[in-house]
Chain A
Amino acid sequence: MTTVHARGSLRRRLLLQLLLVAAILSVALYFTVRALAQQAAETTQDNILIASATAISEAARAERGQILVDVPYSALSMLGSIAEERVFYRVTADDLTVTGYDDLPMPPAASEVGAAVFATSIYKSDEVRVAALPRRLTVGDETVILTVLVAQTRLGLAAVSLQISIAAAAAGVGFFLLSGALSWFATNNAMRPLNRLAQSVERRGPQDLSPVETSAPTELVPLLQSLNTFMARLSASLARTEDFIAEAAHHVRTPLATVRTQSEIAMRSVRKPENKQILREVIRAADESSRSAGQLLDHAMVALRSDNLEKEKLNMKDLAQDVIRSISPTADLKDIRITCSGSDTTSSVEGDPILLQNALRNLLDNAVKYSPEDSRIRVEISEDTSTVQVDVLDEGRGLGNGDRQRLTQRFGRGDNVKDIIGSGLGLTIVDEVVRAHGGTLALTDNPEGRGTCASITLPSA
């Protein structure tokens, strides 16, 4: 059975991408809000500065060749109404200071008369915003450019900026959290049809290879169609394989049986001992081939059925006795007695009866094959709280000293059985069946001296 490695999650990917978009938008929101609010705050300050400068400018007049500026109280007091900022002003006529702070820096860009210019500079160790408003003033016979400068520090603005930044950041975080939650819902919603499909496929029994008939979103239709096509092909392929196994069993075993029968008939008619010996060899080879073919087919069947176990509740003892009954004619030939012990009522497992019978038959086959004549084979069934154990104990030659791991490998045989015919598939079949049922196969020496103890342990039902 192949395993599918989960690589990334569609839902996580979708969620992450939505969150990434939300994060980008949140950051954009933060910067936009901050920039707009700061611009608004700066514009407010600029507007007040220009209002103040206008008020001062309008209060300027020339009298007897002298420039008089009667700075209105409101011109400066209005600057104090928004924030507690330092305030500076200066009135110049051409380049001469008429009144105010005579070192207040002029904005670098000279402006047209009537249009205000703004600049940000450092004055008296604080950052100030300066508004300059020039106008023409006639003094005596000549016209001078009277410029009113009004400046205000931006300490409050910095505090406001910080507040705005915090508020904007809070808005950004809030937006991100909200869109994160919405993304989560959206992702779950989008994944729902996929989950539904996965569940409907998962819910099907192992033998159910009928097409999936459920409504699915457009994007999933190709997948669903491929899945149904694949299921149909798999179903057909399985049917073909089962047919093939049956056919093959028939085609291989029937001619071999014919060969065997004909050889036995021929043996009765030949006299020469060497010819009898040849025929005996032929019978033996036919037996061996028949057995090998049987086991190969068994193995193929086990492999096929293991993938799709048809489980039912089985009593191990009944099962074992069936197998013992079927194998006793062979055992009788060698005068081997097979006994079965264990409680009758319980010892039940969940499993595929054909496979488990097959496994037990292989174990008993082996036991009969490797036991000497006139010996005893014991099948002991025991159980504890969670497992059922079947031990098959013989008085044969044992396991030898080789690698026991190899015994359960395909075509692997013990190093002390060269003289006996065997395909090396028996224990492999047992092992695969037991494993398919979630159990284990253990091969140990018979604790009562000679022989082998083969134990299979299966979870109890």
Chain B
Amino acid sequence: MRLHNFALGLITGLIALATPAHAFVAEEERLFDVDNPSATLNIISTADLDIFSPLVDAFQERNPTVRVRYVTASSSELMKALFEENAEFDIAISSAMDLQTKLVNDGFAERHVSAETGSLPSWAKWRDRLFAFTQEPAVLVYSREAFEGLPQPTNRDELIALLRENPDRFNGRVGTYDIRESGAGYLFATQDSRQSESLWRMAEVMGRLNARLYCCSSQMIGDVADGQLALAYNVLGSYAAQHLENHPDLDILQFKDFTTVMLRTVLIPTTARDADLAGQFIDFLVSAENRQLIEDLTGLPSIDPAVLQREAAFRPIRLGPGLLVYLDQLKRRTFIRAWLNAMVQP
């Protein structure tokens, strides 16, 4: 399945590369066609096709004459498409909350107000233009086998201590996002740095263990499942959970000190050709009655304030202008340099 996706992604990616019409790099593209289409909904998304296609099917069940074109791209390519190239999409879905916020702040998103968006808690939307429909914690994915005989860490300090004390066991076997490439990785790292200084010690320790850097969650999880990695730090728990069934060796750990919770957000770009239809799609994603359905179809935890109250360690990333800070050119350069200094040691 993973391999198949990877191959498909690679092929479509290559096709995209070869197509001059797209200056941004799309990974996959699929047309969910219908007989006698009355309208077409163009979606650009960072969510993998296999995660999202059941959702598109469900939407088409409700709107049988709507044709859906679903294009996946990395969060930075999505940003490039909308911010620089004014690519025409009706819906943009991304896990990079900071970039989505910038799109809204800089006036690239349409306003949308409905009863459904009104049902969202205030922290799950911003300026009636950006709407969250999932809340996904960043977790540690690890292999039980690799931790055998060791006490299970419950917070970052314990993990750091464990890594320090067992360099042989973990050398070359820890992975995390390459924050230069992955928008979600950069977002998680910056939020970590806001929460605690442990990020830098973590980076230091991981760098000493020759950590491997990844662009995407799926590859990282795959490598843990394969046994190539002992652990992957700051992985989207929702992706990892889907692999747990097939890989009994895999496990997920939510840190007790704090767990960053990312909100997957959706917006209507100003280039939308059918903003009304896009509004319907957003209503479909955020409406209170569909939340359970979305969780069932995609495996992505949907917006639920009760969970955030129950889990004391959960720190949802706040939508708002604060997210623009880490997009500052100087700030980003400084942050990445500091991170690389710690992570990539000579």
Using a CB–CB cutoff of 8 Å, the interface residues on chain A facing chain B are: 68-77, 79-81, 84-88, 98-100, 124-126
Judging by beta carbons under 8 Å apart, are B322 and A76 in contact? yes
Q: A70-B334, A84-B127, A86-B127 are in contact. Are A126 and B107 (CB under 8 A)?
A: yes
- Residues on the A chain within 8 Å of B318, using CB: 77, 80
- Residues on the A chain within 8 Å of B322, using CB: 73-74, 76-77, 80
Judging by beta carbons under 8 Å apart, are B107 and A124 in contact? yes
- Residues on the A chain within 8 Å of B324, using CB: 76, 87
Task: Report the Cα distance A229→B6, complex, angstroms.
Answer: 118
Task: Report the Cα distance A71→B98, complex, angstroms.
Answer: 15
Interface residues of B in 311-329 (CB under 8 A from A): 318, 320-322, 324-326, 328-329
15 contacts between A and B (CB under 8 A): A70-B330, A71-B331, A73-B326, A76-B322, A76-B325, A77-B320, A77-B321, A80-B321, A85-B321, A86-B105, A86-B127, A86-B321, A99-B329, A99-B331, A125-B107
A83 nearest in chain B by CB position? B127
Task: Report the Cα distance A100→B106, complex, angstroms.
Answer: 12
Additional A-B contact list (16), CB under 8 Å, known A74-B322, A125-B107? A68-B330, A68-B334, A70-B334, A73-B325, A75-B325, A77-B318, A77-B325, A85-B127, A85-B321, A86-B107, A86-B127, A87-B321, A87-B324, A99-B329, A99-B331, A124-B107
Task: Report the Cα distance A426→B313, complex, angstroms.
Answer: 118
For the residues of B in contact with A, the DSSP-based class is: helix
Interface residues of B in 300-346 (CB under 8 A from A): 318, 320-322, 324-326, 328-331, 334
Nearest Cβ on chain B to A442's Cβ, whole angstroms = 84
Using a CB–CB cutoff of 8 Å, the interface residues on chain B facing chain A are: 104-107, 126-128, 194, 318, 320-322, 324-326, 328-331, 334
Contact of A69 among B107, B127, B330 (CB under 8 A): B330
Counting residue pairs across A and B whose Cβ atoms lie within 8 Å, the total is 60
- Residues on the A chain within 8 Å of B194, using CB: 73
Contact of A84 among B320, B329, B331, B334 (CB under 8 A): B320
Task: Report the Cα distance A70→B325, complex, angstroms.
Answer: 9
Q: A71-B325, A72-B325, A73-B194 are in contact. Are A80 and B334 (CB under 8 A)?
A: no
Task: Report the Cα distance A208→B127, complex, angstroms.
Answer: 84
Task: Report the Cα distance A46→B324, complex, angstroms.
Answer: 20
Judging by beta carbons under 8 Å apart, are B127 and A70 in contact? no
- Residues on the A chain within 8 Å of B329, using CB: 99
- Residues on the B chain within 8 Å of A88, using CB: 105
Task: Report the Cα distance A73→B192, complex, angstroms.
Answer: 13
Task: Report the Cα distance A434→B331, complex, angstroms.
Answer: 111
Task: Report the Cα distance A126→B127, complex, angstroms.
Answer: 14
- Residues on the B chain within 8 Å of A86, using CB: 104-107, 127, 321
Give the one of B105, B194, B326, B334 with max A CB within 10 A. Answer: B105
A52 nearest in chain B by CB position? B321
Judging by beta carbons under 8 Å apart, are A76 and B331 in contact? no
Q: Which 3 A-B pairs have the closest CB atoms?
A: A77-B322, A80-B320, A87-B321
- Residues on the B chain within 8 Å of A79, using CB: 321
- Residues on the A chain within 8 Å of B127, using CB: 84-86
- Residues on the B chain within 8 Å of A72, using CB: 325
Nearest Cβ on chain B to A26's Cβ, whole angstroms = 35
A102 nearest in chain B by CB position? B329
